[in-house]
Structures are given as C-alpha cells and as structure tokens.
Amino acid sequence: MRVVCQSCNRTLDTGEARSGELVVCACGQGILVPEMPAAAGKMNCPACGAPVDPALKRCIYCETALATVICPACFGLVFEGVTCCNHCGRELTARSVLVHGAATPHRCPRCEGRLLVQARLAHRAAGGSGEPPSVPEAPLLRVEVVAGCAIERCPACEGLWVDFETVERIYADREASPSLQSLTGASKPIAPTASSTSIPAAGAKAPASAEAGQGYIRCPACQKLMNKQNFGRLSGVIIDLCKGHGTWFDADELRRILAFIEAGGLDKQAQRERDALKEELRWLRQKRAIEATQASADVSMGGRATSGGLAVGLGRLLGKLLR
C-alpha cells in the first residue's frame, strides 16, 4: 500500500505494515497506515468502514447513502466522506475534494452506447426489425474540479470526459515527457470488429463487449466515432480519443494511466522504441553488406556463370535468413 507524507509529499510503500501501525518517512514524519478494503475491487464505507462495491449507492451493512468523488492526488474514485484515499493513501479533506455537479450539454457516450445496444436487443427479442422506435437518453455529464482541473463525469458509469489541454496538464504533472503530447492525439485507429458494430440476431446472446457497452463510442462534442488507443502501447489501458476535442476515460482508467506514468511506463516504452530502432539499423547494415558482397562477386566472376551463380545464390539465401 502507498501513503503520502503530509510533511514532504513523498510517497511511501508501507510494505507489511498493518492498518493502524505507524511508518516513518525519510523526513522523520510518522504516518498512520489507513484502513483498506477487505476485498479486492471494493472501497470502505465512510460510516461503518465495511468493504462495499463502489457501484452501489447505499451501504449494505449500515444503509448509509454513498456518493463517489475523485481523489485529487491519483484521480481514483473514493466514497465521499472518507478520510484517506483507498488507492494512494492521500489524506482527504472537504476542501481538497470539490464536487460542482453542474450539468453540461454533453451526454455520456458510454451510457449512450450501452442503452442503444440494450434497446436493439429488446427490439429484436420482441420480433421487431430495423432500429428500435426509441432509445432512452444517456445521462448528462457533470462538471467537477479535481486538483484544479475541470473535467466532466458521468453520474451513472463514472466515466470521465477531459479536453486535450486539461489531459496534457494532468499527464505533465506526473512526468514531464516530450512524448506526452503525441500520446494525447489520435493514433491509428484499432479496426472495428463485427462484434462491436453489428446488431445481434433475435435470441442470440450479446457478446461481452456489447453487454458492457465497451464498443466504439462517439465524441460527446462532435458525435464522430472516436479512435481507440492502448496508452503508451504498454499500459494495457484502452482509451477513446477524438482528434479535435479530447479523451474519454472509462471508470478508473485515468488513475491506472497516471500510475503507469509514475511507475516510469513512458520511459520504458521510449527505451523499447530505441532498442527496436537500433535493431532495424543493424539489420539494414547487414543487408547492405550482403548486397555489396553479391555485386563484388558478380564483377569478379565475369563469365564464370556457374561459380558466379553459386555465389549469388548463397548470398541471396543468406539475405533471406537475415530478414
């Protein structure tokens, strides 16, 4: 578990220390290890401390109404009212977590896609053909200010819509890297598959991606289909990008990306690309050397077709093996 020293802002790994025990920062400040959920994927209820599924709106143990807010340090979801972030250990106060909640003109693209798939399945199951006569409207995104950054959050699925300027600022706060700007732009799109674009036949079970609404979605601003990109090529977090407007993050994706950046993921990717470039240059030098040897053999052999042909054949074979 990681906790943040309130004195020097260092991030410490508590190791084997248990909840309630004291760990000491390098600056000498003592830090009390906060409680953590008892089960993976759950968060503590701020009232009774029981582990609760973050998708629930009420604690199943004490019946306390639950609302989620975003940690300003790691952008992870936490229940409103908790004193420490479950993800990074940062101490939270009423002034550090702000919820504006003003509705924007943008509707949630993820919920929109999910509701459309559900309406199509219900329409086909009822024996209808073509498109369903009506589709429920997706919830409006709401403005929240997190760590001084204005973002738009869906109150239903917890997805985030962040414009380019803001997302670059968030990334840069974690690591100043020249490759960050290119990572926020549109990359070569991942080709859509039949499961992400087709309408299931009547009675057929929807694929997992369709049930979860994880197919291609439209930009909340321009309504064009967004590109999908594996952030940093190594993170395993697939985000949705609109070239002209911004980035859509499904629930918890922004926190995972920031953790990837802080762990040096972008540096690892840059090193990987440098190694690949060196290997390509080495291969090109070998290929040129073989071609030069072949040309020299052709000139020196002259009319000796048999020997010359053998030398050329061996050279070509060696060249194929090196490809």
Confidence of residue 206 (pLDDT cuts 50, 70, 90): very low
User: Is there a single domain that holds both residue 242 and residue 122?
Assistant: yes
Is residue 188 included in any domain, yes or no? yes
Q: What share of the chain is helix, strand, coil (3-state, %, to 5)?
A: 35, 20, 45
Is residue 196 included in any domain, yes or no? yes
User: Is there a single domain that holds both residue 222 and residue 181?
Assistant: yes
User: Is there a single domain that holds both residue 137 and residue 159?
Assistant: yes
Q: Would you say 224 and 204 are in contact if contact means Cβ atoms under 8 Å apart?
A: no
What is the model's pTM? Answer: 0.59
Is residue 151 included in any domain, yes or no? yes
Is residue 212 included in any domain, yes or no? yes
204/211 Cα distance (integer angstroms) = 12
User: Is there a single domain that holds both residue 225 and residue 111?
Assistant: yes
Residue 271 has phi, psi (to 5 degrees) of -65, -40
User: Is there a single domain that holds both residue 238 and residue 171?
Assistant: yes
Residue where one domain finishes, among candidates 263, 281, 296? 263
323 or 237, higher pLDDT: 237
Q: Would you say 275 and 314 are in contact if contact means Cβ atoms under 8 Å apart?
A: no
Number of domains composing the chain: 2
The structure tokens 């042909």 sit at 309
How far from each other are the two terminal CA atoms of the chain, in whole angstroms?
Answer: 47
Q: Which of 120, 54, 112, 108 is nearest to 248 (CA)?
A: 108
Range of the domain at 287: 272-322
Is residue 291 included in any domain, yes or no? yes
pLDDT above 90: residue 227: yes
Q: Would you say 34 and 89 are in contact if contact means Cβ atoms under 8 Å apart?
A: yes
> Residue 312 is encoded by which pair of tokens?
């050329």
Is residue 191 included in any domain, yes or no? yes
What integer pLDDT is reported at residue 122 of this predicted model? 92
Is residue 84 included in any domain, yes or no? no
Residue 242 has phi, psi (to 5 degrees) of -110, 125
Confidence of residue 52 (pLDDT cuts 50, 70, 90): confident
Is residue 66 included in any domain, yes or no? no
pLDDT above 90: residue 163: yes
What integer pLDDT is reported at residue 289 of this predicted model? 80
User: Is there a single domain that holds both residue 240 and residue 286?
Assistant: no
Q: Would you say 322 and 287 are in contact if contact means Cβ atoms under 8 Å apart?
A: yes
User: Is there a single domain that holds both residue 147 and residue 211?
Assistant: yes
43 or 76, higher pLDDT: 76
123 or 214, higher pLDDT: 123
User: Is there a single domain that holds both residue 110 and residue 257?
Assistant: yes
Residue where one domain finishes, among candidates 263, 288, 307? 263
Mean pLDDT of the region 57-67 = 74
| Angle at the Cα of 247 from the Cα atoms of 243 and 248, rounded to 5 degrees | 135
Contacts 24+ apart (CB under 8 A), 41-47: 43/77, 43/78, 43/79, 43/82, 43/86, 44/79, 44/82, 44/86, 45/79, 46/79, 46/80, 46/81, 46/82, 46/83, 47/81
User: Is there a single domain that holds both residue 245 and residue 317?
Assistant: no
Q: Which of 111, 273, 279, 109 is nearest to 183 (CA)?
A: 273
User: Is there a single domain that holds both residue 217 and residue 291?
Assistant: no
Residue where one domain finishes, among candidates 242, 263, 284? 263
User: Is there a single domain that holds both residue 119 and residue 237?
Assistant: yes
What integer pLDDT is reported at residue 106 of this predicted model? 95
Any alpha helices (H) in 160-252, and if so which ranges? 164-174, 180-184, 194-197, 208-212
What integer pLDDT is reported at residue 146 of this predicted model? 85
Mean pLDDT of the region 78-84 = 79
User: Is there a single domain that holds both residue 281 and residue 144?
Assistant: no
